[in-house]
Structure 1
Amino acid sequence: MLAATNIFRVDDLLVQIYNSEVEMAQNVAEIAQKYLQDVLAQQDTAAVLLATGNSQLKFLDALITLGGVDWSRITLFHLDEYLGIAADHAASFRRYMRERVEQRVEPKKFHYIEGDTLQPVAECDRYTKLLQAQLIDLCCLGIGENGHLAFNDPSVADFQDPYSVKLVKLDTANRLQQVSTGHFPNLEAVPQYAFTLTIPMICTAKKILCLAPEKRKAHVVKEILQRSISTDYPASILRQQPQATLFLDVNSASLLS
């Protein structure tokens, strides 16, 4: 098993730094594989939340390639989806998950947020009921360049949110990130609204693995770990989650003192 080059804690959050994104992704895949094997040795089924985005690509591929996980006993959920986007849209998170995960592992069930629903409030309620039908054993996350978790941007993040799933307006920084990472051709093409699991819902997971590689994440990683915990940088809430680990590469950790 690959090992981190530096391991430390910031409050309750374990932080691990790796020489490269590839080494980080491989080690997180090994950690996730072992954890899921242990969970399934103790119970019949497991429930997992998965994130999309470029930070998850190498990790998801490594986890699936490793094998050794009985996916037929695992129910999968995802963290967010754009409002008004069809399931086959190039930027749809349902398409991302279907092509990169579901079609490769054939899980017990993959519950999707129906982004093109005609009744978005009812969709929030439907997905909430699905999530609350069992405990979440594992949540795999990324961090946005504005510090968001899922689509909990600073303007809408609520550490005491009464909801499990909600509809939010995306801030400009978030929408620009979707363009810069190649998901949309320009800002006008990015939907203004999206569904997201809330921060309290995310934090119910028994184990949280958060991957934040690449130089473009260096500033936000520094702010999350060295500023006070607040919704100015929503991912800072991970510092209050002893079940969470933040995984960095040397590039995303480059501004840490």
Structure 2
Amino acid sequence: MPAATTSFHVDDLLVQIYNSETEMAQDVAEIAQKYLYNLLQAQDTIALLLATGNSQLKFLDALIALGEIDWSRITLFHLDEYLGINADHPASFRRYLRERVEKRVFPQQFHYIQGDALEPVAECDRYTKLLKAQPIDLCLLGVGENGHLAFNDPAVADFEDAASVKLVKLDQINRQQQVKTGYFSNLETVPQYAFTVTIPMICAAKKIICLAPETRKAKIVKEMLHGCITTNCPASILRKQPQASLFLDVNSAS
């Protein structure tokens, strides 16, 4: 089992650093698997809130490969989706999670945000009710290059948000990051608006695992851990969450 080379707290947030993204993904997968396995010994069903993006790929593969989790007793949700994109679009987070998770583990349910819903405000209400029907036992996160959690960019992030799910306009840094994923040919093809689970809903999860590998995340990780806790860097709110852990590789910790 790979182990973190460095472990420390910043305020309430546990931070662990690994020699490589592969070692990080494997160790975090084992942490998550043990947590889910033990939780399923204590309760009939559990709920997970999933992230997407490159930071999750190796972790999800490692978690699924470990086995010993009864996914038929797990309900899955996800953090965000582009407005106006259908479920088969290459950039759709529904497609990402359907192919990388649902088709491989067959959960009890997977509640998806319908990005192409005809009534987007009603879709926010529908998804809010689903999220609030049970506690979220585990939330998985990545950190955007602008410090966003889900699609809570600095301009729209609200640590006291009354909403659980909302529609937001994506900032240019975020949209440019989406181009880098390779699913959009240029900035103009990236949707300007998206659905997102809000910061308070994320922080309500019983356990939070945040993965932020790669050199391109180093600058925002420094701001997240050493700057002020502010919506200028939404991810900084994790420093107030004792149930949260941040996992880095040597590149993002540089």
1:136 matched to which residue of 2? 136
Once the 2 structures are TM-superposed, how far is the Cα of residue 181 of structure 1 from its aligned partner?
A: 2.3
2:45 matched to which residue of 1? 45
SS of 2:17's equivalent in the other structure is strand
Question: Aligned equivalents of 2:181 and 2:145: distance in 1?
Answer: 11
SS of 1:248's equivalent in the other structure is strand
Question: Aligned equivalents of 2:180 and 2:57: distance in 1?
Answer: 16
Question: Aligned equivalents of 1:140 and 1:2: distance in 2?
Answer: 20
Question: Aligned equivalents of 1:50 and 1:160: distance in 2?
Answer: 22
SS of 2:110's equivalent in the other structure is strand
How big is each residue's C-alpha offset from its partner over 1:2-35, in whole Å with a ceiling of 9 and x where there is no partner? 2100000000000000000000000010000000
Matched, 1:79 2:79: yes
1:118 matched to which residue of 2? 118
1:16 matched to which residue of 2? 16
2:160 matched to which residue of 1? 160
Matched, 1:34 2:34: yes
Once the 2 structures are TM-superposed, how far is the Cα of residue 183 of structure 1 from its aligned partner?
A: 2.3
The amino acid across from 1:244 in the alignment is A
- What count of residue pairs does the alignment treat as equivalent? 254
SS of 1:242's equivalent in the other structure is coil
Segments of structure 2 that go 5 or more residues without pairing to the other structure are none
1:69 matched to which residue of 2? 69
Question: Aligned equivalents of 1:180 and 1:88: distance in 2?
Answer: 20
SS of 1:161's equivalent in the other structure is coil
SS of 1:149's equivalent in the other structure is coil
Question: Aligned equivalents of 2:204 and 2:184: distance in 1?
Answer: 32
Question: Aligned equivalents of 2:10 and 2:31: distance in 1?
Answer: 20
1:216 matched to which residue of 2? 216
The amino acid across from 1:156 in the alignment is V
Once the 2 structures are TM-superposed, how far is the Cα of residue 99 of structure 1 from its aligned partner?
A: 0.2
Question: Aligned equivalents of 2:154 and 2:235: distance in 1?
Answer: 9
Question: Aligned equivalents of 2:150 and 2:38: distance in 1?
Answer: 27
2:107 matched to which residue of 1? 107
How big is each residue's C-alpha offset from its partner over 1:38-65, in whole Å with a ceiling of 9 and x where there is no partner? 1111000000000000000000010001
SS of 1:104's equivalent in the other structure is helix
More deviation, 198-207/179-188: 179-188
List, as ranges, runs of 4+ consecutive aligned residues in structure 1 with deviation greater than 2 Å. none
The amino acid across from 2:191 in the alignment is P
Once the 2 structures are TM-superposed, how far is the Cα of residue 180 of structure 1 from its aligned partner?
A: 1.5
SS of 1:195's equivalent in the other structure is strand
The amino acid across from 1:175 in the alignment is R
Identical columns (%)? 78
Question: Aligned equivalents of 2:176 and 2:4: distance in 1?
Answer: 32
1:236 matched to which residue of 2? 236
Question: Aligned equivalents of 1:16 and 1:77: distance in 2?
Answer: 26
How big is each residue's C-alpha offset from its partner over 1:48-92, in whole Å with a ceiling of 9 and x where there is no partner? 000000000000010001101000000000000000000000000
How big is each residue's C-alpha offset from its partner over 1:92-119, in whole Å with a ceiling of 9 and x where there is no partner? 0000000000000000000000000010
2:179 matched to which residue of 1? 179
Once the 2 structures are TM-superposed, how far is the Cα of residue 182 of structure 1 from its aligned partner?
A: 1.4
Question: Aligned equivalents of 2:50 and 2:120: distance in 1?
Answer: 21
How big is each residue's C-alpha offset from its partner over 1:100-144, in whole Å with a ceiling of 9 and x where there is no partner? 000000000000000000100000000000000000000010000
1:251 matched to which residue of 2? 251
Question: Aligned equivalents of 1:85 and 1:181: distance in 2?
Answer: 16
SS of 2:134's equivalent in the other structure is coil
The amino acid across from 2:29 in the alignment is A
How big is each residue's C-alpha offset from its partner over 1:202-236, in whole Å with a ceiling of 9 and x where there is no partner? 00100000000000000000000000100000000
Question: Aligned equivalents of 1:111 and 1:92: distance in 2?
Answer: 14
